[in-house]
Amino acid sequence: MMANRDAPIPEFQKQSDFVWDIPTAYKKGMLVPGRMFASKQLLQDMDRTVYDQLANVASLRGIQQHALCMPDAHSGYGFPIGGVAAFDPEEGIISPGGIGFDINCGMRLVTTNLTYKEVKPRLKQLVDLLFQRVPAGVGCKGFVKLDKKLFQQIMTQGAGWCVDNGFGWHEDLAAIEDNGCIKQADPAFVSDKAMTRGMDQLGTLGSGNHYLEIQYAGEIFDQAVAKKLGIISEDQICVMVHCGSRGFGHQIGTDYLKIFLDKMASYKLNVLDPELACAPFQSKEGQQYYSAMACAANMAFANRQVILHRIRECFSETFGKSPEKLEMNMVYDVAHNIAKLEKHTVDGKMKEVVVHRKGATRAFGPGRKELTGKFNKMGQPVIIGGSMETGSYLLLGTEGALEQTFGSTAHGSGRTMSRTQAKRDFNGEQLQKDMEKRGIYVRTTSYSGLAEEAGKAYKPISVVVDTLERAGISKKIVGLKPLGNIKG
């Protein structure tokens, strides 16, 4: 009863030093080739289950061009994490397993005008206050009290609801993917169970690899673009948040997984892994899931918005200045677990496709109509979250991503070690002490959880990001270094 860790290594067809194809002959049923974005070393070190999972994705009805895999890929359930797949909206499917249970898990980056030297002496005070005010860990509840009616407003209005209700600034919305609100959301297709599970969780981090991190802009690769995004010096303090739609999205994923498993036979759909359960995109169930998924995506945008509000309060209290004076401006907010109907070039023609991104980020280059304001000219910011020990990156989407990956890129550094193994190899308390000696102050609700997130459990993020740049699907703008971290 093992995962397919013994999957054969494919006979890769090299397209370039950073692009490798898995031919359809690799596994029976593949409709299109798999395509891996990876350096030779990352490819050699890749968890082999990824190949098998990518081949399974390549066999789903209506898939276009290639089943894609980003350099941070590792095995997931159903789709690999770091997977991107586009489906024809008429012939093809939508699959919750291509999005993940944590719908619109994503990243948010915020600037300050504080410097490393100003924050360092008050770092503990600041992190302790954030740890107190931003609920994290198992079963955490938020401070915003909602009833069913208000929660339904959040489902349809997303981050905009928060701004209208005093949790943020109007200009925040312009720096969120889809302005923090996906239009096709319809609460009619959300179960009561999902609502009761998520209603008390607005403004909470959760656990696993979710975090809130105080960072400094350790390395600026493109001064001009960084400046346009609000980052001007290498000692500037920023704040990064990684979390999603909490129990609400998780329940929607579970609900529709069960619905799709029961319905697949009636649509003559057969999948190689039950986690690839799917429905035709145009079917009643497919459209209902798409609407429910958007509700969860909007809740996740709202969740990160309320967390930002709390972060601003904590900074303001610690440094005795208003968040406006501290220039706590949004850089951007991106989703990395989502499906979207977008126009892309397929076989030389522009057409609509349903792009699934699971542990992958939209990375649109300049000119896309979805990008508004300054982003339309410069391209879309991409936030790549690394481990708590190694740092993260701010990138920019490119034309190359639109040409090669349906406008997509990686989402993080990617795990290489299982959680169970990491708990055996690392001790949470010791790790916390070691990190403090290196100048990184961490608070957590779970020491075993902290051990699971050790830097050595992840791929080297600089190698992943260099691969993205050299493959032409993202451009490096800023490297961010950790200073303080809150783990759930």
Partner 1 sequence: MSYKFLSDVAIADTAFEATGKTLTELFQSAAVALITTLADPKTVKPALAKVIELKAETVDKLLFNFLEELVYLKDTDAMVFSKVTVTVDEQKLTLLATVKGDTVKPAEQKLGQDIKAVTMHYFRVEKTNGWKAQVVLDI
- Active site residues per annotation: 411
Residue keyed to tokens 């593949």: 30
Q: Exposure string (b/e) for 178-207, b if CB count within 10 Å is 16 or more?
A: bbbbbeebbbebbeeebbebbbbbbbbbbb
- Residue 325, Cα to own-chain centre: how many angstroms? 30
Touching partner 1, residues 99-118 (CB under 8 A) = 100-102
Residues 217-246 that bind partner 1 (CB under 8 A): 246
Tokens read off for 105? 């898990």
Among 247, 386, 455, 460, binds partner 1 (CB under 8 A): 247
10, 33, 62, 76: which one binds partner 1 (CB under 8 A): 76
Q: Which stretch binds partner 1 (CB under 8 A): 95-103, 309-317, 343-351, 433-441?
A: 95-103
Binding of residue 5 to partner 1 (CB under 8 A): yes
What is the nearest approach in angstroms of partner 1 to the Cβ of residue 321? 31
CB of 132 to partner 1, least distance (A): 11
Work out how close the CB of 301 gets to partner 1 at its nearest, in angstroms, rounded to a whole number: 18
Residue 415 CB, nearest distance to partner 1 (Å)? 5
Q: How far is the CB of 266 from partner 1 (least distance, A)?
A: 17
- How, if at all, do strands 441-444 and 408-409 pair? unpaired
Q: Is 439 in the site for partner 1 (CB under 8 A)?
A: no
Q: What tokens were used for 458?
A: 């992840």
CB of 251 to partner 1, least distance (A): 7
The three-state secondary structure class of 402 is: helix
Q: Residues with Cβ < 8 Å from 444, sequence gap 6 or more?
A: 136, 137, 428, 432, 450, 486, 487, 488
Residue 143 phi/psi, 5-degree rounding, is -95, -10
CB of 161 to partner 1, least distance (A): 21
Binding mask 132-161 for partner 1 (x = CB under 8 A): -----xxxxx--------------------
- Is residue 237 within a helix (H) or strand (E), and if so which, with residue range? strand 236-243
Output the six-digit token pair for 448: 């075993």
Report helix, strand or coil for 430: helix
Burial class (CB in 10 A: 0-12, 13-18, 19+), 424: exposed
Considering only residues 320 to 379 of the shown chain, the ones binding partner 1 according to CB under 8 A are none
Question: Which secondary structure element, helix H or strand E, spans residue 255, and what is its range?
Answer: helix 246-263
Per-residue binding string, partner 1, 190-219, x by CB under 8 A, is: ---x--xxx-xx----xxxx----------
CA 312 – CA 331 distance, rounded (Å):
14
Q: 40: how many CB neighbours lie within 10 A of its CB?
A: 12
Q: Does 455 bind partner 1 (CB under 8 A)?
A: no
Q: How far apart are CA 387 and CA 51, in angstroms?
A: 24
Among 419, 434, 466, 470, binds partner 1 (CB under 8 A): 419
Among 237, 417, 431, 478, binds partner 1 (CB under 8 A): 417
Total site size for partner 1, rule CB under 8 A = 55
Residues 378-407 interacting with partner 1 (rule: CB under 8 A)? none
Nearest-approach distance from CB 244 to partner 1, in angstroms = 9
Q: Using CB under 8 A, which residues numbered 35 to 74 contact partner 1?
A: 47, 74
- Both tokens of 248, joined, read 């609400």
β 441-444/474-487 pair status: parallel
Exposure string over 147-162, b if 16+ CB within 10 A, otherwise e: eeeebbbbbbbbbbbb
Check binding of 257 to partner 1 (CB under 8 A). yes
Closest to partner 1 by CB, 245 or 291: 245
Q: Which of 254, 282, 376, 427 is in the footprint of partner 1 by CB under 8 A?
A: 254
Binder of partner 1 out of 10, 62, 78, 407 (CB under 8 A): 78
CB nearer to partner 1: give 277 or 383: 277
By the rule CB under 8 A, 424 interacts with partner 1: yes
Looking from the CA of 205 toward its CB, the CA atoms found within 13 Å total: 28
Q: Which span (114-122, 364-372, 409-417, 459-467) binds partner 1, by CB under 8 A?
A: 409-417
Q: Which of 127, 181, 202, 277 is close enough to bind partner 1 by CB under 8 A?
A: 277
Question: Which residue lies nearer to partner 1 by CB, 5 or 325?
Answer: 5
- The one segment of 172-180, 227-235, 375-383, 414-422 that binds partner 1 by CB under 8 A: 414-422
Residue 369 token pair: 């109509």
CA angle 77, 465, 381 (to 5 degrees): 90
Cα gap 106→243, rounded to integer Å: 6
Task: Please state the closest distance from residue 457 (CB atom) to partner 1, in A.
Answer: 9
H/E stretch holding 39: none
- Which residues here bind partner 1, judged by CB under 8 A? 1-3, 5, 47, 74-78, 81, 100-102, 137-141, 193, 196-198, 200-201, 206-209, 246-247, 250-251, 253-254, 257, 261, 273-275, 277, 415-421, 424, 445-446, 448-449, 452, 488
